[in-house]
Amino acid sequence: MSRRLILFGCAILALGGAGFVRAAAPPVPALLPLPAQLHVDAGRFTVDARTPIVLADEAASTLRTGAWLADVLARTRGLRLPLKHGAAGAHAIVLRRDPAAPVADREGYTLTVTPDGIRVEARDDAGLFYGAVTLWQLLTPDAKQGAVELPALSIRDQPRFAWRGLMLDSVRHFQSVAEIERLLEQMAQHKLNTFHWHLTDDQGWRIQIRRYPELTRIGAWRTPPEAGREGEPERYGGFYTQDDIRRIVAYAAARYITVVPEIDMPGHAQAAVAAYPQFGVTGQRPSVSSDWGVNPYLYNVDDATFRFIENVLDEVMALFPSTYIHVGGDEAIKDQWQAAPAVQAKMRELGIKSEDALQGWFIGRVGRYLDAHGRRLVGWDEILDGDNVPADATVMSWRGTDGAIKAALMGHDVVLSPAPQLYFDHVQGDLADEYAGRLGVESLQSVYAFPTVPAVLGAAQAKHVLGVQANVWTEHMPTFAHVEHAVFPRLAALGEVAWSPVVANDWPGFLARLPAQFARYRAQRVGYADSAFAVDVGTDRNLALASGRATVTLANQAGFGAIHYTLDGSVPTPASPRYGAPFNVTLPVTVRAASFAADGSALAAPRQRVLDRAALLSLPGTALANCPGSDFRLRLQPAPDAQDTQPVYAVNVFDACQLVPATWMDGASAIRVEAVRLPRNFALAHEQRLVVARPHATPFGELVVHADTCAGAVLASMPLPDPAHGPSRFELQAQLPAQTGERGLCLIYTAPIDGPLYAIGRVALTP
C-alpha cells in the first residue's frame, strides 16, 4: 500500500495572472485547524445515510459526542446517520474512548479512514470530541449535501497550546444566552477551549450576585447618549441570571470549553460603584458610564470593600468551576486614590510608596483569597506593575507582548492576547462597507501570521506560554451580527495558530482550506466577514477625471481566488471575464467584481464601483486620511447602540480634521458634504489634553475647507447647525473659487470640543 505523507498544509499552488494565486485541487483535506500529522493512503470509504455512528464504549460523554456529530452532520450535510451502541463493526464510524489509545494528550486523538470504515480513538472525552470535529470537517469538504467519499487516511493529532482562548465583552454590548451558545459552538468547531467572559466594567455589571442585588438592579443599566432619540433605547443593558450562567457553563463544558469569568478590578469599576458607592473611593454615586475608554472610578482599599469583593468572588467561584478567575487589573488610572486622604493614609500604614504598588498589593490580596479557595488568579499585564503579584498568577499580555516576556522571565505563566494583532475589535479591511471598529486593519493574514512564542524567550521560559487568545471588545459591536463579522473567519486563523504545530504555519494552505469552511459557516448561518476577499476596484481618479478614460485594477486583500467582473452592471459569475491585468475603460462605466474559489463558490459578495465624473469627484469619509498629528481612528455608527451595521463614519476623536487626496479639480466650483453629528462618548482620561480645540466664528463651529494643506488658504467655511435641533445627519454646501489641476483639501470641523463629534459621510465636488 502506498502511503503519501502530507507535509503540513503544502497545497500545490499555481500562479495565475497578475500575481493572483490559484489553488489547484488541494491535496490536503480542508481541515481547520490542520492536524499535527496527516497521511493520505490508497483506497476510499464512502459515508452515506446507512453508515452508523457506533459508540464503542458506555461513557455518557461518548454518547454526547456521537449525538453532536450526528446533529451537526444532519444540519450541515443533510446526512442523518443512525447512532448505535456496540462493538466496532465494519462499514461504520466507530467512536471509542480507550485508555490505551495512541495519543496520550487528553485533547489528542487518532482518526483513521480505511476502505472498511472510520475509527476515532482517544484516551479522554475531550480528545474524542476533537476527533469528531475533525471527522465532521472531513465529511463537509464542500457545500454539497448527502454522501461523501473520503480518501483513506490516518490522523494523529494533539494541540500545540493548552490555552486556546476567545474573550467576549458582554458589558459594552450585551449578547443573549442563545447568541453566546452559538459562539461557543463555533469555538468548539475551531478547537478552542477557553471562553474568557468579560462580565463587569464601567458601562455595566452583567452577572447576578444574590448578595448584592443593586449590582444588577442599578449596575446593569446605562442611559445612552441620545436616549430615546436617533434609534437609541431609553436605557441599555441587561444581565445574566445565575441560571443563565449555569446554562452557559454547562453548554460550554459539553464542548470542552472552560468559561473563565472576568470581574475587573480595581478600575473599570464604575457600574459597581454606581450600585454601591460605599465601595468606591469618593463616596459619591456616579451613573453607570455610557462613555467608552478609561473612566476614573476605582474600588476602595478598605476592609469593607475587600469583604464585598470576596463575597462577590464566592458566588463567582460557585458558578464557574474554572481554575482560573480573571480579575482584570487593566487601565486603572490612579487619580481617585491619589486624591483620597483615607487611601493615602492606608498606603502609609502599609508602607506602600506608590499607587501602582498599592494596585499590586490589592491584586496580591485578591490572589491570595483565590489561592485559598483552590483557584488561580489571571489578570491583564498591569498586574505586574506593582511587583506584588502572587507567584502562581497568570499574566494575560495585551499591551503588545512585553508583559508576556517580563512575566515569563519572572516565572509566571502567560497567555498572549496582544493588541492590536489579536484584538478583534480592529477592523479587518478598509473598504467603505467594512463594519464599525477600530483602525488600523488587522487582517485575516495578520492574525494567521501571529508569532506565538516571543523569540527572546528561551525554551524554559517558553514553557510558561500557556497559549493564545483573541479579544472581542464590543464598544462598536451593538449586535451579534457585528460580533460574528468581527470574529469570523479570523477565528479560523486563531484556531490554527493555537492548535496546529508551528511547522503547519502555511498561509497559502490555509487559504486553500478556507472555502470549505465558508460553506460550513453558510450552512450554519454564521455571518462571517468576506473582507479578505472583497474586490477593491481601483483606478487613477485624476487621470480618469482629466482624460475620460480609466485604467481599472482589481485586487482583494488576501491576493487569493479568481476575480471575475462585469462592465454592464450585471452580477459577476465564474463565467464572467476573468481579471488578469489592469484594463482600460471609457467613462461612464460600472465595474462589478467578485472573487471565486477554485470550485466556483463565491469568496465574497460582489463589490461595485461606478466610474463617471460625479462618482470620481465624490469620496466617502472613510477614504479620507487623518490630518497629520494623530493616527487614532475609529469607524463609528451614528448611534452607539444602533441595530444596523451601516452607515459607518471614520472619526478621529482627538482631531476633527481629514484630508481629501489630491483631486483633478478642473470645473469643480462647489463642495457638498454629507455631515453627521455623533455623541462624544469617549472617556480619554489623561489623554483628554491631546484633543485639538480650535477657534470658531459662529456659535456651533464650522466645517472649514483649506486648499492643499491644513495651513492652506480657506476656500470655504460652512457654519454648523444648532446641535440641539434638527437631524443628526445634514448636508453642508459652499461655492469654491474656480480650481484647476490637482489639489488636495483639508477639512476641519471647528466645533467646540465639549460638544458632539462631527464626521464626514461623503464629500463631493460639483460643477
First to last CA, the chain: 75
Q: Spot the catalytic one: 116, 179, 314, 331.
A: 331
> 121 or 330, CB closer to ligand ACM?
330
Cβ proximity to ligand ACM, 279 vs 398, nearer residue: 398
Question: Which residue, 129 or 380, has its beta carbon nearer to ligand ACM?
Answer: 380
- Where are the strands (E) in 314-402, listed by range? 324-328, 376-380, 394-397
CB burial of residue 302 (10 Å; 0-12, 13-18, 19+): middle
Quote the CA–CA distance of 554 and 592 in Å, as a whole number.
10
Minimum CB separation of residue 330 from ligand ACM in Å reads 4
Cβ pair 260, 194 in contact under 8 A: yes
Helix ranges, 107-199 (H): 125-138, 177-189
How many Cβ atoms from other residues are within 10 Å of residue 748's Cβ?
21
475 is a contact residue toward ligand ACM (CB under 6 A): no
Cα(703)–Cα(345) distance, integer angstroms? 51
CB of 201 to ligand ACM, least distance (A): 9
**Cβ proximity to ligand ACM, 199 vs 511, nearer residue:** 199
Residue type, position 114, single letter: T
| Interface with ligand ACM, residue 197, by CB under 6 A | no
Q: Does 169 bind ligand ACM (CB under 6 A)?
A: no
Least distance to ligand ACM, CB of residue 31, Å: 32
Collapsing DSSP to helix, strand or coil, 283 comes out as coil
Report which residue's Cβ sits closest to ligand ACM.
Answer: 330
Which residue from 423, 425, 432 is spatially nearest to 646, judged by alpha carbons?
432
Q: Could you say whether residue 264 binds ligand ACM (CB under 6 A)? A: no
Assess 682 for contact with ligand ACM (CB under 6 A): no
x/- letters, 59..88, toward ligand ACM (CB under 6 A): ------------------------------
**Strand pairing report for 394-397 and 376-380:** parallel
Nearest to ligand ACM of 232, 425 (CB atom): 425
- Give 428 or 556: the residue with its C-beta nearer to ligand ACM: 428
Please, are residues 747 and 705 in contact by the beta-carbon 8 Å criterion? yes
Number of residues that bind ligand ACM (CB under 6 A): 4
Considering only residues 380, 510, 565, 749, which one is a binding residue for ligand ACM as defined by CB under 6 A? 380
Smallest separation (angstroms) from ligand ACM to the CB of 297: 15
Provide, rounded to whole angstroms, the least separation between the CB of residue 232 and ligand ACM: 25
Identity of the residue, 167 or 183, whose beta carbon is nearer to ligand ACM in the bound complex: 167
In the complex, the smallest distance separating the C-beta of residue 271 from ligand ACM, rounded to whole angstroms, is 16
SS3 520: helix
Q: Should residue 687 be labelled a site residue for ligand ACM when binding is judged by CB under 6 A?
A: no
- Look up residue 166 and give its three cell numbers: 476567545
Instruction: Establish how many alpha carbons lie within 13 A of residue 156's alpha carbon, considering only the half-sphere containing its beta carbon.
Output: 9
**CB-wise, 398 or 424, nearer to ligand ACM?**
398
Query: Pick from 299, 398, 510, 528: which binds ligand ACM (CB under 6 A)?
Result: 398
The gap from C-alpha 308 to its chain's centroid, in whole angstroms, comes to 33
Q: Give me the amino acid identity at 578.
A: R
Q: Which helix (H) or strand (E) holds 507?
A: helix 507-523
User: CB 436 → ligand ACM: shortest distance, Å?
Assistant: 17
**C-beta of 158 vs 203, nearer to ligand ACM:** 203
Write the binding mask 317 to 356 for ligand ACM: x where contact by CB under 6 A, - elsewhere: -------------xx-------------------------
Judge contact between 23 and 13, C-beta under 8 A: yes
d(CA 181, CA 240): 13
- Count of Cβ atoms closer than 10 Å to residue 115 Cβ: 13
Q: By C-beta, is 398 or 596 nearer to ligand ACM?
A: 398
Distance of CA 389 to the CA centre of its chain: 29
Q: How far is Cα of residue 450 from the mean position of the Cα atoms in its chain?
A: 14
Q: Based on the residue annotation, tell me whether 442 is a catalytic residue of this protein.
A: no
Does residue 239 bind ligand ACM (CB under 6 A)?
no
Joined grid coordinates for residue 229:
432619540
Residue 330: CB atoms within 10 Å: 18
Minimum Å gap between C-beta 325 and ligand ACM is 16
Alpha-carbon dihedral 517, 83, 249, 252, rounded to 10 degrees: -20
Identify the active-site residue in 201, 291, 496, 702: 201
Return d(Cα 377, Cα 393) in angstroms, integer.
5
Dist CA 483 CA 53 (whole Å): 34
Q: For residues 331 and 536, which CB has a smaller minimum distance to ligand ACM in the complex?
A: 331
Q: Considering the rule CB under 6 A, would residue 212 count as an interface residue with ligand ACM? A: no
Give whichever of 330 and 702 is closer to ligand ACM, judged by the CB atom: 330
Are 121 and 101 in contact by the 8 Å Cβ rule? The answer is yes
Round to whole Å and give the CA distance between 592 and 610: 9
CA-to-CA separations, 12 to 27, 449, 493, 677, in angstroms, rounded: 7, 20, 20, 52
Rounded least distance, CB 752 to ligand ACM, Å: 29
Minimal distance in Å, beta carbon 255 to ligand ACM?
A: 25
Beta bridge partners of 260: 196
Count helices and strands in the chain by DSSP H and E runs? 18, 42
Measured from the CB atom, the residue of 136 and 398 that comes closer to ligand ACM is 398
- Is 129 a residue that touches ligand ACM (CB under 6 A)? no
Residues 487 and 439 sit within 8 Å (Cβ to Cβ): no
Active-site annotation holds for 201: yes
In what side-by-side order are the strands of the sheet with 3-5? 3-5, 37-47, 148-157, 109-114, 117-122, 93-97, 53-55, 83-85
Closest contact distance (angstroms) between CB of 294 and ligand ACM is: 8
Nearest Cα to 329, choosing from 278, 396, 259, 284?
A: 396
The answer to whether 722 is a known catalytic residue is: no
Residue 202 in the binding site for ligand ACM (CB under 6 A):
no
- 201 contributes a contact to ligand ACM by CB under 6 A: no
For the bound state, the minimum distance from the C-beta of residue 724 to ligand ACM, rounded and expressed in Å, comes to: 34
CB 119 within 8 A of CB 94: yes
The reply to whether omega before 35 is within 30° of 0 (cis) is: no
CB of 393 to ligand ACM, least distance (A): 16
> Which positions from 272 to 311 touch ligand ACM by CB under 6 A, shown as an x/- string?
----------------------------------------
> Which residue, among 428, 367, 375, 378, has the nearest Cα to 403 in the 3D structure?
378
Catalytic residue among 268, 326, 564, 706: 268
Q: Is 669 left (phi over 0), alpha (psi -120 to 50) or beta?
A: alpha
Enzyme catalytic residues: 201, 268, 331
Residue numbers at the binding site for ligand ACM (CB under 6 A): 330-331, 380, 398
